[in-house]
Amino acid sequence: SQSAKEGNGTIQLVCGAQTLSVEGKCGGVTTMGELVITIQDKIVPSRMFTLSFNTDQFPTDGDVFAVKKSNYTAEGKKSKKEVYIGFSEVSTSNQMDWSSDDASGFLKFEVDVDAIKCVFKDLELKPSEVYNKGELNQNAVVSGSFHLYRN
């Protein structure tokens, strides 16, 4: 397992008339053949933006990943050029969660030596029917940027 030196990120999710954000530290860790990058909000620690990759390798310069629907139960080999993304807050006072689907878009990475950067705009996420209530139970659009450092 590898880990990355902490960077930071700013993510905005727009759902109906509401805008939610995650702004804070960004880190990456590889475990069991997967790379997971997480941005955690500095004010609401239970609010996070997560990217899960089908590879344990950090992105290289120019890598483009197709954003797909999360499919933890799928058998067989998954594409190393796919990523699953989610925006969630699960606490005693708030439960909400959005995740990518197969029409969400693409993520492109820039890597300069050890600095890994990603900027993206208008990726569509689907709501969780279990958690999201009222106005939050609709598709949302997420945009933002983050960076972290390979050790």
pLDDT band at residue 143, thresholds of 50, 70 and 90?
Answer: very high
Query: What pTM was computed for the model?
Result: 0.92
The residue ranking higher by pLDDT, 129 or 15, is 15
Please provide the average confidence, as pLDDT, over all residues in the chain. Answer: 91
The per-residue DSSP string of 47-79 comes to EEEEEEESSSSPP-TT-EEEE----TT--S---
Q: Give the separation between CA 148 and CA 151, rounded to whole angstroms.
A: 10
